[in-house]
Amino acid sequence: MTVTQVPQVGHTGGLAQRYARALYDLASEQGNLSDVLGEVKALRAAIAESDDLRKFLADARMDIRQGRTVSNVLMSKLGFGDVLRRFVGVIAENRRLPDLASILDGVLALDSALRGEVVAEVRSAQPLTDTQRIQLQARLAEAGYSRVSMTERTDAALLGGMTVRIGSTLFDTSIAGRLTRLQNAMKGAA
């Protein structure tokens, strides 16, 4: 396993945080924060599980009306409340649907930070089992991260293993990472 310090750079980092803060504050003001957070988790899981939904959200050719209409239908079909439905409508009108997953992650990260938890972004080649989640949380507790909230993503490019990012620290046990390190070591030996 390799541990490295890497800067967190993302083209939507600040944007996602601003939208996340707006949704969090709106839900807090209306007194239904726990309901909205549950819906945010459910929508984030739906995006993670559906290739078609990810493709739809990433489609840059979609016009504003089409994005708003489809997002309204989707939100109603999934049974989400008014706050999240209107919020996703604003995201669609502002042509930010490709950033929706990052915005939802930002809402969950903000909630975790306000509760004193650290957010660990876990990327694995295969979805984690419940046993693996428990083992990973135990390992992170041993490393000094006792209050951890995990966001999970699958990435077939890792080939196997996983990466865990907590702040600027990256734990890399992926096969792709090992191959890269081996390739770099071989270049140095030549």
Q: What digits encode the pLDDT tens for the residues 2-11?
A: 444 333 433 4
Asked whether the beta carbons of 65 and 95 are under 8 A apart, the reply is no
Domains in the chain, CATH or no CATH each: 13-113 (1.10.520.20), 117-188 (no CATH)
Question: Residue 148: which of 165, 160, 162, 163 has the closest Cα?
Answer: 165
Sheet of strand 169-172, all strands in order from the earlier edge strand to the far edge: 2-5, 169-172, 162-166, 118-124, 148-154
Asked whether the beta carbons of 12 and 99 are under 8 A apart, the reply is yes
Instruction: Tell me if the pTM is above 0.75.
Output: no
Characterise 167 by phi-psi region: left (phi > 0), alpha (psi -120 to 50), beta (else).
left
Instruction: Give 77-134 pLDDT, tens digit per residue.
Output: 888 988 999 999 899 888 888 889 889 988 988 888 888 888 888 999 888 899 999 9
Question: Residue 83: which of 147, 26, 141 has the closest Cα?
Answer: 26
pLDDT over 70 (residue 12) = no
